[in-house]
Structure 1
């Protein structure tokens, strides 16, 4: 059923705490998805592996409805490289798209062009990396599935998992999957990371891969955001910290160095963040002044300030006040009231505005079809 006018999504209050509303917007590698107010999923962009979930493989430059099972109402959406996952209100997870490494969690390694049920427990949150997926169980344990090549599933080995397995770590209140690593926030505010660590993105002071969680050598956090090769955390005072790959300025500390421990983002005077989103080579955050700031790689316009230069410290996005953000590979999207906006690289139609042009400032996502 087509939506009339704009994509209608309820506005969500921002907040740094782990009781933030579930993500209703997800920017993947080359595709983007959103949930409307009725729990229906819509996706757009690259679709070779079926990550748009409508049974075909054609790319789409504007939203198209995901063919969810009858009666399934989604509460959260997550997008990886070639796959997408949704979390239903009853805690059941569904995934679709590229399944060759087990990242769909249905017990096999076949692609799925429409959602397939994950063979696992009920989840309260779900997150997707490049080729792996993780969920937070109601028992506070983290579960991961898919590629384990670098230890990103946290099982203590490098084996792939076609269905959810428990992470060998403490109870978590949040879990965030990066490109080939994962991080979790424990109840005491300590952060733990596992998987690929060659750029220091695990934050333990080294550059080794870790197949099980290791503690981040930093302050206590209220939220985490894992990007492709870097990670960021939100301090309880609103200060943002980042670590890992920094050559594009994605750490926001004013330099372009890789860091194996958290460093404070050099925010504008008086700015305190409430939400962070980490992408491939850039990072964005919502601030208490209701403005959005981005930093890092800007060559595709993904920083949203109107130019295409990288920025080593946060720069204000030229757009409306957003309630949620999601950073992908060379593009960023946000929710402002009932509307979705995207900016950056438009290849494959991943900005959802009906064409494939680059956009250096936010543009509204086109009305959905299907």
Structure 2
């Protein structure tokens, strides 16, 4: 059934009997496993012309994809079975097929078969970097040693890069025009390739043929992410500090002047701001703080800073100040386009958009930032490696989504705070071990048509049941704490992770200590670490909040002790 789901398309669940519903849910779960549905950015590939030539059955097996090239005329995609295919112009051998021939039909790259992509990036030559389970492969243009293999010979096939990366696991890669960066599991940054403006960070302008560790002010610090402009490099450390090096003629390093930097230099204007995400355009940067605030700096020829004018900015300025919390920002070194997504899912774009200069963030109807680049960037490349959600699976998912809380088809109701929620036993049994036990044993609830719930609030319990139908959660951070409690009680680990994501995105100075306490209470270690680091980064403000002083003594003592061990109280 997984390969031929069309028979389900027109089924109306309202006419299904219980067995049919069971079959439908089971099919949905099989499809989910087979098609790789999960947490990632889901994008419609048909927005990019290169993919319009693929047959539906070819599109159905794509798990990840990236469109790149000077005219967005090359593409690479990875299937659910981890096979790598490429197509397009093949400029400089950037398709990695072993030759320089272009191909309008997908061609398999056997050398990368079975490799699971973690991060992918491309330069302007173009050259391609692919991190797969810690290993780094490069191919394509190599006129400036940007492949890191010690030569300047064009790379027609993927080559494993090992120089200076022995016992290192690469977790992220990024590329500028003709230089490359890699981030390792232990927070070290390596750079190689073209170095005319100091973008390698070596202290000179000599090209670098092999990966070289970037030191200077990054020495002794742990990098968490990296980003490249055309001829500049940026890094964010685990404490939220931002460093930049390389070309700075238009202020793209954000350090207050326009002099090139041969070694990493800290962006002092972001002192006190804990940056979570940083992306680079051709000559500008966007940064997103842990409080959901967006900043921009650098080149502004097309309004890509979103300031309402075309004046370059040598230091970060706030963007989208009158909007709600921002949760994602997007830019690409080969474009002058910027995009951002807010907490409620609104997507904004600005900068160079289809030849126009949008000087201020403009609200779109898109559901993700990737759509902005598909429709309005020049060239319409992808700003990241994206995940793909097959249309056939969405058809089933939407069918189930519509039947949540449907009085017409339900066979069970939950009463919470005097309000009813309509559900189907079959769905609950298949999706949740707690309900499977409830309805298969001698629990009294198994014989009831209405089950009373007193332990949890109506918004929390409804969101939980809705999650079982949709695999998504839509709650404010404060209510997500209650849902985290429920997920812990019901041993729903995926729901627990989704709650943690919501809480992370909604953390503020005022609620940070409350969220930290909840994370500790519900044994959410990753969330606990995130909230703790946020509290330490905003220590003065957090310690003045009501939540901090209303915490119990043991909690306060443990926090102060842990913060002290981290050096939070150093002079």
TM-score (norm 1): 0.77
Distance 1:292 1:61 in 2: 32
Counterpart for residue 272 of structure 1:
326
**Where do residues 327-338 of structure 1 align in structure 2 (5 Å cutoff)?**
329-333=378-382, 335=386, 337-338=388-389
Give 2:284's aligned residue: 230
**Cα displacement (A) at 1:194:** 0.4
Shift of the 318–324 alpha-carbon distance from structure 1 to 2, 3 Å rule, reads: closer
Stretch deviating more after TM superposition (250-259 or 308-317): 308-317
Q: How does 1:1-370 map to 2 (within 5 A)?
A: 10-13=37-40, 25=66, 27-30=68-71, 31-60=74-103, 64-81=107-124, 82-89=126-133, 91-120=134-163, 121=165, 122-168=169-215, 169-170=217-218, 171-216=222-267, 217-218=269-270, 219-266=273-320, 269-270=323-324, 272-279=326-333, 280-298=335-353, 301=354, 308-321=355-368, 329-333=378-382, 335=386, 337-338=388-389
How far apart in 2 are the matches of 1:88 and 1:336? 15
CA positional deviation for 1:322: 6.0
Deviation at 1:248, TM superposition (A): 0.4
Displacement of 1:289 after TM fit? Answer: 2.2
Q: Which has the larger radius of gyration?
A: 2
In structure 2, distance between residues paired with 1:318 and 1:54: 38
Give the CA deviation at 1:48: 1.8
Q: Measure, in 2, the Cα distance between the counterparts of 1:11 and 1:29.
A: 31
For 2:349 and 2:108, the matched residues in 1 are separated by: 30
Question: How many pairs are equivalent?
Answer: 319
Q: CA deviation at 1:53?
A: 1.8
Q: What does residue 20 of structure 1 align with?
A: none
Change (3 A) 1:228 1:322: closer
Secondary structure, counterpart of 2:356 in structure 1: coil
- SS of equivalent to 1:278: coil
**Contact 1:267/1:314, CA 8 A, preserved across alignment:** no
Shift of 1:186: 1.1
Q: Specify which structure has the higher proportion of helix.
A: 2
Distance 1:329 1:64 in 2: 26
SS at match of 2:341: strand
Counterparts of 1:42 and 1:13 in 2: how far apart (Å)? 20
Q: Which residue of 2 aligns with 1:346?
A: none
Please provide the CA RMSD for this pair.
3.0
Unaligned runs of 5+ in 2: 6-34, 42-63, 392-571
- The change in CA–CA distance for 1:156 and 1:268 in structure 2 (over 3 A counts) is same
Q: Secondary structure at the match of 1:68?
A: helix
Secondary structure of the structure 2 residue equivalent to 1:49: helix
The whole-number CA distance in structure 1 between the counterparts of 2:36 and 2:336 is 28
Taking structure 1 as reference, are residues 181 and 329 closer, same or farther at Cα in structure 2, changes over 3 Å only?
farther
Change (3 A) 1:255 1:266: farther
TM-fit CA distance, 1:9: 6.7
Aligned partners of 2:40 and 2:387 also within 8 Å: no
State the alpha-carbon separation in 2 of the partners of residues 309 and 146 from structure 1: 33
Structure 1 unmatched runs, 5+: 15-22, 302-307, 341-370
Flag the 1:199–1:137 CA change in 2: closer, same or farther, 3 A.
same
TM-score of the superposed pair, with normalisation by structure 2: 0.51
Whether the aligned pair in 1 keeps the contact of 2:288 and 2:326 (CA below 8 Å) is: no
Change (3 A) 1:318 1:229: same
| Cα distance in structure 2, aligned partners of 1:293 and 1:135 | 29
Greater relative contact order (Cα < 8 A, sep 6+): 1
* Alpha-carbon distance, 1:69 to partner: 3.8
Alignment partner, residue 359 of structure 1: none
Query: Following TM superposition, by how much is the alpha carbon of 1:13 offset from its aligned partner in structure 2, in angstroms?
Result: 4.2
Q: Which structure has more strand as a fraction of its residues?
A: 1
Change (3 A) 1:42 1:10: farther
Matches of 1:4 and 1:111 in 2, distance apart? 43
